[in-house]
Amino acid sequence: MLHSTRRYNQAFIALGSNLENPVSHIQQAYLDLSALPDTTVQKRSSLYKSEPIGLIDQPDFINAVTEIETALQPLELLEKLLNIEKQHGRIRNSDSYPNAPRTLDLDVLLYGALQLKHKQLILPHPRMLQRAFVLLPLLEIAPDCEIAGHGKIKEYLAGCSDQIIERLDIIQLKPVKSQFKQP
Residues with catalytic roles: 90, 102, 105, 107
Instruction: List Cα–Cα distances, 165 to 50, 60, 131, 132, 173, in angstroms.
Output: 4, 10, 10, 7, 22
- Burial label, 109 (beta-carbon count in 10 A; 0-12, 13-18, 19+): buried
Dihedral in degrees, nearest 10, Cα atoms 69, 66, 127, 146 = -60
User: Is residue 11 classed as helix, strand or coil in its secondary structure?
Assistant: strand
For 175, which DSSP code? P
Angle 108-114-119 (CA atoms, 0-180°, nearest 5)? Answer: 60
Report H helices in the chain. 22-34, 74-87, 132-141
Contact between residue 62 and residue 47 where contact means Cβ atoms under 8 Å apart: yes
